[in-house]
Structure 1
Amino acid sequence: MHYATDLFHPLNDETADGRGGDAEECAIPPVRYVGRCPESGKDLSIGPTARVIAEARSLRTYLDERSQTEDGFTSAHLREPAAGKMFGVMVVANAGGHLGTLRAFSGEWDESWVAPAGWVPSPGRLQDYAEARRETEDRVAELTRQIHELKARPTSKPIRRQIEEIKIDRGRLSRDLTDKIHAAYRFENALGETLPMTDVQTGSPRPPTGMGDCCAPKLLQAATRLGLAPKG
């Protein structure tokens, strides 16, 4: 997958400790993202810093400003009822040691899987399951319609059996599509390996739905593919 070079947003107010002039003193949340290196067996982790918290605040201000306009990049749709979005920022260093940020959001942007310029795109090969998704969603909608139609009839044992059979069929279709979606998410690591998301140990038979398009995986994958070193 090709990653655009405009994803790296340079920071111009760097200091020797990497915090920057705008990084205020603040309470650092006691959270870490941890992964085990397959070569050394050591746990590697990354967590929030004062600098990245300052950059997150700046991004929040920017998004608020862009919600007031329809020109260019706009976040106006986030103000619609029941709308919401998770955002993430990662401070990274390029090969020259210069600091910058990567920006990401969870899932789609305004009902589109095409990320706006300057934002980390989905790490999934969306085209791998696009057709299967359309076909499955149409079929699931039809099965759901059949269930509603049967429920509207006077209840009987044969009707209840039909409903259960349709539900089983609908569940199978959904699981098959989920497997196709998970297979389309393949992550690269610093060793140059490309591994499917299904290899991630999550404590359950399947990765959580939508995990590949959460902010943290998107940011870490973009940093790896762009040769950037995560700093927080």
Structure 2
Amino acid sequence: MLSSENCFTHFKESIDDLALPEHFTFPFYYEPHPLCLVAVKELQTHLNTQTQWQHNFGHTGDEDSAIGKMFGVLVVQNSLGEIGYLSAFSGKVADQNLLPNFVPPVFDMLTQDSFFLAGQKKINAITEQINQLSANPQIAQLQIHLSKTLNTAEIQIEAQRQSVIEGRKTRKVRRTAAKAELNEAQLIALQLELSKESVHDKNQLKALTLHCNEQVYWAKQQLSQLTDAIEQLKSQRKASSAALQQALFEQYQFLNILGERKNLAEIFKGTVHQTPPAGSGECAAPKLLHYAFKQGLTPIAIAEFWWGSSPKSEIRQHKNFYAACQGKCKPILGHMLEGMTLDEDPLLTNPAIGKTIDIIYQDSEMAIINKPPEFLSVPGKNIQDCVYSRMKQQFPNATGPLIVHRLDMSTSGLMVIALTKEANKSLQAQFIARTIKKRYVALLSGLLEQDEGIINLPMRGDFDDRPRQLVCFEHGKPAETKWQVISRKDGKTKVYLSPKTGRTHQLRVHSAHVQGLNMPIIGDDLYGIKANRLHLHAELLVLNHPSTKELMTFSVEAEF
């Protein structure tokens, strides 16, 4: 185990002019404290100059094998009253979880005598057995034989069933004709003969079905003699893996400032999924706090930043700061931060206070409004003030549901409000048919070389870090955005963005993703860098009036 002296780093740069924060950082939405900025600057210098280990972050030009990483700094005070900082990385770097000057993992599963490696070795041995048994060529042959046997049985039984049906039809015809041609004695004799034929046909079908089922049974038996052992090994592997995972959860024990310990299993027991997501406890923030509490260091402020190439699905910009993730870190940090006074959660503060909604058009059926930035469209989890509540006050006699479509809280611009049920139905139909034209204006943090283009990047939610969205070609929903440059100035590009689809955060993701424009919208606090506001505005809306069907165009210029 690394000692406190190995990980506590004294500031090289003077921090005498920097005041300590009053409260510890709220890690899920923050702006880095000046002390953290100095610590990050020194850590990044270390990453650029150290020669003790090698890792391809993407600076070498070999992007295919590049793996960027999240790093973190925790400003702390030691028992002597000295202010310094701790450094950490998420997961592994250079295929290691222990590197000089970085805090160790909460639990080191990679030590030579680790039960985890022993358990993995056992599971790997079972997997090798499964692979060896599965490679038996007889299995493929018997699977083909079983498939053919099943197919032949199905064909033969169906043919016999059709024969029974045809026989039934023929007997019905003979029975009908006999009623007009035969006397009573002859009719009785015919009925007996027809009954015997019916029984014979049914017995033939029954015998054939029994024979075919027997053939299938023996084909399955031959195959199962080879596959049963494989299935037993798979069940054994599954049970061993689950037991190993549970043991691992129990080993990850996290301290808080009160000296209380909780393991992963206990922490996630009360969550929706109950089971910790993969990689839980390996993020930088929990590692930093656990080490500080264990060594008797007092946490002062924390910050995490991305270093290197962005992942293919997520959006991570080199050197940008990021909040702790919701899925893995929030439950853990909820325990670890107990007993500490934190900065206020800004998401609990109503951003709409003091703001008004401009109505730019109104009739008896609909209204067109200009939504301010940082203003919810519909009620949130903690904040009820929104476009919906304001419109309900503005139009108390409206019979429609009011909200037809939404804009992200941070996005400003045009929204249509349905004042009647009939108007809502008409407008909804136009949105579904994609006949309503929407155009946005955005200011990007960079200079685009091309003048226009189309982005096709499928998207889905990031289940481990909501409300973030991911680009996912396997499970994502189609998302298409047309873009066109308006102007270029001072290293920034103003563009029109016209979404064909309306996925959550579509324009923000398509702008920031490396396979999109690779330039976050200025002020994007999720996918870029926070500013005074998100520079994204819905400036054009073209639709047919709900009742008159007149084509109507509305536009409001962006205030940036």
TM-score, reference length from structure 2: 0.32
Q: Secondary structure at the match of 2:235?
A: helix
Q: 1:139-173 CA distances to partner (integer Å, 9 max, x unpaired)? A: 22222222223333333441444433322221211
Deviation of 1:176 (Å): 1.1
For 1:230, the aligned partner's letter is: I
Tell me, yes or no, if the aligned pair for 1:102 and 1:119 is still in contact at 8 Å: yes
Deviation at 1:4, TM superposition (A): 2.0
Q: Does structure 2 retain, via aligned residues, the 8 Å contact 1:86–1:105?
A: yes
Q: Cα deviation per residue 1:46-71 (whole Å; 9 max; x = unaligned)? A: 844143245334423321222xx3xx
Q: 1:3 to 1:62 in 2, by over 3 A?
A: closer
Q: 2:285 aligns with which of 210, 213, 216?
A: 216
Q: Deviations over 1:118-141 (max 9, x none)?
A: 211122265999443233222222
Give the partner amino acid of 2:129. Answer: Q
Q: 191, 211, 225: which one pairs with 2:294?
A: 225
Give matches, 1:1-232, under 5 Å. 3-11=3-11, 12-14=13-15, 15-18=17-20, 32-33=26-27, 47-51=30-34, 52-66=36-50, 69=51, 73-74=52-53, 76-78=54-56, 81-95=65-79, 98-113=82-97, 115-124=98-107, 126=109, 130-152=113-135, 153=137, 154-155=139-140, 156=143, 157-158=223-224, 159-201=226-268, 202-226=271-295, 227-232=297-302
In structure 2, the partner of 1:25 is: none
SS at match of 1:163: helix
How far, CA to CA, are the matches of 2:37 and 2:264 in structure 1?
28
Query: Helix, strand or coil: the match of 1:120?
Result: coil
Conserved 8 A contact 1:3-1:222: no
1-side partners of 2:41 and 2:112: how far apart? 36
For 2:301, the aligned partner's letter is K
Following superposition, the deviation at residue 219 of structure 1 comes to 0.5
- Whole-angstrom distance in 2 between the partners of 1:65 and 1:127: 27
C-alpha distance 86-49 of structure 1, shift in aligned 2 (>3 A): closer
Q: Decide whether aligned partners of structure 1 residues 87 and 54 sit closer, same or farther in structure 2, where only a CA change above 3 A counts.
A: same
Compared CA separation, residues 77 and 223, structure 1 to 2 (3 A): same
Give yes or no for contact 2:86–2:102 (8 Å, CA) kept in 1.
yes
Point out where structure 1 has 5 or more consecutive residues left out of the alignment: 20-30, 35-45
Residue equivalent to 1:39: none
- The count of aligned residue pairs is 203
How far apart, in 2, do the equivalents of 1:65 and 1:128 lie? 28
Q: Which runs of 5+ in 2 are unaligned?
A: 144-222, 303-560
Distance 1:65 1:117 in 2: 14
Deviation at 1:100, TM superposition (A): 1.9
Distance 1:110 1:103, change over 3 A: same
> Secondary structure of the residue that 1:213 maps to in structure 2?
coil
Rg larger in structure: 2
In structure 2, the CA distance between the partners of 1:48 and 1:185, relative to structure 1 (3 Å rule), is: farther
Secondary structure of the 2:48 match is helix
- In 2 relative to 1, CA 50–194 (structure 1 residues): closer, same or farther, beyond 3 Å? closer
Q: Distance in 1 between matches of 2:232 and 2:300?
A: 49
Counterpart AA for 2:238: G
> What amino acid maps onto 1:87 in structure 2?
F
Secondary structure, counterpart of 1:212 in structure 2: coil
- 8 Å CA contact 1:124, 1:184 repeated in 2: yes
Between the aligned partners of 1:210 and 1:170, the Cα distance in structure 2 is 20
Deviation at 1:97, TM superposition (A): 5.3
AA in 2 matched with 1:168 = S
RMSD over aligned Cα, in angstroms?
3.3
* Cα distance per residue 1:182-227 (max 9 Å; x no partner): 2112222211222223221343232223322221110111222232
Q: In structure 2, what is the Cα distance between the partners aligned to 1:203 and 1:2?
A: 36
Q: Distance in 1 between matches of 2:123 and 2:44?
A: 38
The code of the aligned residue for 1:225 comes to K
What TM-score, normalized to structure 1? 0.70
Q: CA deviation at 1:181?
A: 1.5
Identity of aligned residues (%): 27
Do the aligned partners of residues 127 and 85 (structure 1) sit closer, same or farther apart at CA in structure 2, a change above 3 Å counting? closer
Counterpart AA for 2:7: L
Distance in 1 separating the partners of 2:283 and 2:88? 9
In the alignment, what sits opposite 1:37?
Answer: none
In the alignment, is the contact (CA less than 8 A) between 1:32 and 1:48 conserved in 2?
no
Higher strand share: 2
Distance 1:209 1:112, change over 3 A: same
